[in-house]
């Protein structure tokens, strides 16, 4: 089984000593002690990798690679939820877990709060839009509370929050807002 490397343990467990968690010199997918960051996809990757190594058939390798790619794509989104976000720390190259994210919609010139979430160990909120609701056309705002996230890590940042305003035109079934952060800058784009 694989575990996070020592630097990644600090990201997953910022307030705990490394000695409380088994670490490996090679980065991978999760902490064996508490299971934080473990996903079904990470387990499937390990099983499929072993299977592909054991099977010499080129067709089987290609088929398994295709199946894995489809599963990985689907795992990024919650079933039927039209909005997801992802936060990556560009100064470390790692996901940003435990960032508070809020979603608002502009209604009659005012921002109406719709939902909030907390990024998981992979830096994702897979279902930010309110459950069991269809995303209506309009102007939305996703706000990432980056200031509090950096403060908990003992770091300073120039941006206490990153607010991304975007338009939903109804042409897509799913919208994805990635955020790349560092203490003195951030960038985003329309993901898919």
Mean pLDDT by 10 residues, the chain (192 residues): 44 53 43 44 58 62 58 52 94 94 97 96 94 92 97 95 95 93 95 82
pLDDT at 191: 86
CATH architecture of the domain covering 83-188: Sandwich (2.60)
Rounded CA separation 6/21 (Å): 9
Rg (CA), the chain: 19
What pLDDT does residue 55 have? 62
Token pair for 90: 């560009």
Neighbours of 125 (CB within 10 A): 26
DSSP 121: T
Give residue 156's pLDDT.
94
pLDDT at 88: 96
pLDDT for res 192: 77
pLDDT of residue 17: 54
Domain with CATH 2.60.40.180 in the chain: 83-188
Question: Which pLDDT belongs to residue 38?
Answer: 44
For residue 44, give the nearest of 65, 20, 24, 27 by alpha carbon.
65
């Amino acid at each position: 089984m694989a575990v996070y490397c020592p630097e990644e343990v600090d990201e997953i467990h910022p307030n705990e000593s490394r000695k409380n968690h088994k670490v490996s010199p090679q980065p991978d997918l999760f902490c064996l002690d508490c299971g934080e960051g473990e996903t079904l996809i990470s387990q499937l990757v390990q099983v499929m990798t072993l299977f592909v190594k054991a099977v010499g058939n080129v067709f089987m390798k290609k088929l398994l690679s295709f199946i894995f790619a489809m599963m990985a794509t689907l795992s990024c989104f919650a079933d039927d939820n039209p909005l997801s976000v992802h936060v990556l720390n560009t100064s470390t190259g790692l996901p940003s877990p435990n960032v508070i994210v809020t979603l608002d919609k502009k209604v009659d010139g005012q921002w109406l709060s719709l939902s909030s979430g907390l990024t998981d160990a992979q830096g994702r909120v897979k279902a930010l839009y309110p459950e069991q609701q269809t995303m209506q056309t309009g102007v939305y705002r996703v706000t990432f509370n980056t200031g509090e996230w950096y403060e908990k890590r003992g770091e300073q940042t120039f941006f206490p929050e990153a607010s991304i305003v975007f338009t939903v035109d109804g042409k897509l079934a799913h919208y994805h807002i990635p955020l790349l952060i560092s203490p003195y800058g951030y960038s985003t784009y329309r993901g898919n």
